[in-house]
Structure 1
Amino acid sequence: MSEAARPPAGPAAARPGRGPGRRPGPTETREAILAAARGLFAEKGYDGASLRAIARAAGVDPALVHHFFGNKEGVFVQAMRFPVDPSRLLPRIMAAPAERRGEALARTFLEVWGDEERRAPILAMLRSAMTNERAAAMMREFVVTELFARAGEAQGIPALRVNAAAGQLIGAMILRYVLRVEPIASASEDELVALLGPTLQRHLTEGPPDGDG
């Protein structure tokens, strides 16, 4: 092929993040946008992350973000797919002896948060829930309804004590991973399980369930 017949190098050739070979397909582009969104929502929360910033972090045109997700809420809902399935966590917690359920709950929660990849969307949700009702509703649905409330119903634990257990764990995670307060930020998982387990156990087991007894 002569030089005159060669196709000119267009902007796509110089676009960041694209190596030689075929152009990324729709699935790859969509996943790149979601990964960028998760990072920005975790860092800045819902209100602090713009569609343009998400597009820039993903190396795509903002029009593509609109094309795939419609608006920022659409990106948020898809990006915040939780990396853990409550239906898999609950049997693990409930399999522990009754007198060690608090410890099992604390350890399971800490293992999820201790994984950076799984922690990112949860952090994003927490930051965003402070200022955005949609994010707050999603947090309630996942953490309170899908995980804690289902565990409480299975054991006949009153909702107030279930909420207290949820607050104990979420508060500890905010101190550890959002505010990074020492010494809780650098404490080992075993130390935190020993600290949180007995309190969670009291929430889960003390008193008659739902007025019975």
Structure 2
Amino acid sequence: MARTGRRPGQTETREDILAAARRLFGERGYDGTTIRGIAAEAGVNPALVHHFFGTKDRVFVAALNLPIDPGAVVARLTDGPREETAQRLLRMFLELWREPDSRASFLALVRSVSTNERAAMMLRQFIERVMLTRLAEALDIPKLRLTGMVAQVMGIAMVRHIVGVEPIASADEEEIVAMVAPVLQRYLDPS
């Protein structure tokens, strides 16, 4: 009689799924990759992909080692008064870059996308189709404005954490929020 359930001992199933996901996302892009395709490539049932990761977005985040969950980002940015949305966005990014583990993931990602077109395409598709679409809808603003906000926040991260330009590299986070959040908020509420 065949045993059911998890196999005894160590398993590399999760890592096999991630390796398959990286290959497929790299070859086919975000839109061309499916949970079924990842499962077939890894030699597992699609239910196992769902068990480990839940959704295609989460498989992608794990495959690229992104330190963010798209659903959590949307929830955090929309949880509170609209006039404080830019502050929440900026604080969230500053917090992510402050934490050593997520900073290391972002640094690896920046290096990958700046030198590897396949990695850049994967990230570009994810940002455009998942993050920007969800956030633009949730915040009720055009994607162009949202992209402008993200570009400014990424510029701050680049100058502060990658290049290390002073005085912004050592500035207090709240000082940065006070200086930049009003500019970001104008993307949300131009008047």
Distance across 1 between alignment mates of 2:100 and 2:73: 18
* 1:130 correspondence with 2:124: no
Question: 1:48-197 residue pairs with structure 2 within 5 A?
Answer: 80-197=64-181
Query: Given the superposition, is the C-alpha separation of residues 101 and 162 from structure 1 closer, same or farther in structure 2, using an over 3 Å criterion?
Result: same
Distance across 2 between alignment mates of 1:111 and 1:144: 23
Deviations 1:77-116 (A, max 9, x none): 9663212211012111111201111111111111111111
* Secondary structure of the structure 1 residue equivalent to 2:168: coil
Is the 1:165–1:203 contact (alpha carbons within 8 Å) kept by the matching residues of 2? yes
* Secondary structure of the structure 2 residue equivalent to 1:84: coil
Q: 2:53 maps to which residue?
A: none
* Secondary structure of the structure 2 residue equivalent to 1:181: coil
Q: Which runs of 5+ in 1 are unaligned?
A: 1-24, 35-67, 69-76, 208-213
Deviation at 1:165, TM superposition (A): 0.5
Distance across 1 between alignment mates of 2:164 and 2:117: 25
Distance across 2 between alignment mates of 1:162 and 1:201: 10
Is the 1:106–1:193 contact (alpha carbons within 8 Å) kept by the matching residues of 2? yes
Output the TM-score relative to the length of structure 2.
Answer: 0.64
Question: What amino acid is the match of 1:88?
Answer: A
Question: What amino acid is the match of 1:103?
Answer: Q
Is the 1:161–1:204 contact (alpha carbons within 8 Å) kept by the matching residues of 2? yes
Distance across 2 between alignment mates of 1:167 and 1:111: 17
Question: What amino acid is the match of 1:101?
Answer: T
Deviation at 1:143, TM superposition (A): 4.1
Distance across 2 between alignment mates of 1:174 and 1:192: 14
Is the 1:144–1:166 contact (alpha carbons within 8 Å) kept by the matching residues of 2? no
Say which one has the larger Rg.
Answer: 1
Query: Given the superposition, is the C-alpha separation of residues 143 and 187 from structure 1 closer, same or farther in structure 2, using an over 3 Å criterion?
Result: farther
Output the TM-score relative to the length of structure 1.
Answer: 0.58
How many residue pairs match? The answer is 141
The answer to which of 131-140 and 178-187 deviates more is 131-140
Question: 1:4-83 residue pairs with structure 2 within 5 A?
Answer: 80-83=64-67
Distance across 1 between alignment mates of 2:66 and 2:88: 20
Is the 2:77–2:85 contact (alpha carbons within 8 Å) kept by the matching residues of 1? yes
Distance across 2 between alignment mates of 1:127 and 1:170: 14
4+ runs deviating over 6 angstroms: none
Deviations 1:166-207 (A, max 9, x none): 110011101111111111111121111112211110012216
* 1:198 correspondence with 2:182: yes
